[in-house]
Amino acid sequence: MNNQEIREAIRQRIKSYSRIILSRHIRPDGDAVGSTMGLAAVLRARYPEKEIYVVNDDTADYTAFIGTEDTQPDDAAYADALLIALDTGTFDRLSNSKAGLAKEIVKIDHHIDDKPYGDLSLVEDFRSSACELVVDFCLSFPEDFPLTAEAAACYYVGMVTDSGRFRYSETTGDTLRLAGALLDFGIDTERLFAHLYLDPYEEFRSRSALLRKIKRSPAGVLSLTIPRSLRKKLGLTMEQAGAAVSLMDSVKGSPVWIAFIEADDGTIRVRLRSRFIGVQELATRYHGGGHLCASGATVYSKKEAGALLREADALLSHYQLSHEDIL
């Protein structure tokens, strides 16, 4: 089936089922919750006679403002139900342990389709978010899936968050046109952004403490070292401390930045980030790897951390020799 035939088949399936269960991936983000809640809003408004459930095994505080999900129906309810899995690349990431009981599964997603699943699968991996794809799907069948103001607000959350506020390279003209169609419904973006991007005062305070610890190497590499003691004092988990790497992501002339986070066992977890210059190769030399401009590594002493930092500094000075406008 080509893309148009898959869309048509999904349209038919949704119309034919009287019970539809929507699920998304575990540890939800704005796109996962926005796409499920948005499609549920569309279906409830257009088909009040159908039973529409949004069912997942886990929730997240961060997305709770979008709305409340439903309680898990009995196993028997699945026997004649259609399950729509949104924003979930692989079946094992689906946040619904009963999904396998459904009569049929439709997958709608934008992740690379490594392990296909579902009776019908609409995957467009060039989409900046699952919400972008679902909005495009709804707009392609306006009679059957008319957008509502409530759905538009949900979908907009996913489009904004997964595209890094329309900043990541996956953002296309189509992304903005589809987001524009949502804004036409009148979304309170001021409130929405407040929900998404305001931090508790304590987090703001600990960020200012961390900002003061950032150092700059001769060539311009920024680094932040968080010893165990400081991490405990600020009450940060390894994950939260690691996220502090992004505090250094917007300094002109410093296209490489590195966080060193000391774990409880004394090893030092390293997060390397960059723009334009690759840091992956450097990370592989220190027990790590990852993506070209976002890698992780591990070092086992302050001395080794210093060596990694000096290598990063040399990498940047070498880059500066052949590039004039360092951003």
Q: x/- binding map, residues 24-63, to Mn ion, per CB under 5 A? A: -------x--------------------------------
Closest CB to Mn ion among residues 15, 165: 165
Closest CB to Mn ion among residues 50, 111: 111
Dihedral sign for Cα 37, 116, 143, 159, please.
positive
Tell me which of 87, 132, 262, 313 binds Mn ion, using CB under 5 A: 87
Q: Which amino acid is at 208?
A: S
Q: How far apart are the first and last CA of the chain?
A: 46
What's the distance, CA 265 to chain centroid? 30
* Piece of 86-94, 119-127, 212-220, 285-293 that binds Mn ion (CB under 5 A): 86-94
Query: Does 154 contact Mn ion by CB under 5 A?
Result: no
Supply the minimum distance, in Å, between the C-beta of residue 44 and Mn ion: 22
Supply the minimum distance, in Å, between the C-beta of residue 315 and Mn ion: 32
Query: CA angle, 242 as apex, 233 and 289 as ends, to 5°?
Result: 150
Query: CA angle, 142 as apex, 4 and 124 as ends, to 5°?
Result: 35
Q: Which of residues 122-141 bind Mn ion (CB under 5 A)?
A: 130
Closest CB to Mn ion: residue number: 31
- How far apart are the C-alpha atoms of 150 and 12, rounded to whole Å? 24
Closest CB to Mn ion among residues 93, 195: 93
Supply the minimum distance, in Å, between the C-beta of residue 24 and Mn ion: 9
How many C-beta atoms lie closer than 10 Å to residue 325's C-beta? 4
Query: CA angle, 23 as apex, 131 and 69 as ends, to 5°?
Result: 95
Which residues contribute to the site for Mn ion (CB under 5 A)?
Answer: 31, 87, 130, 162
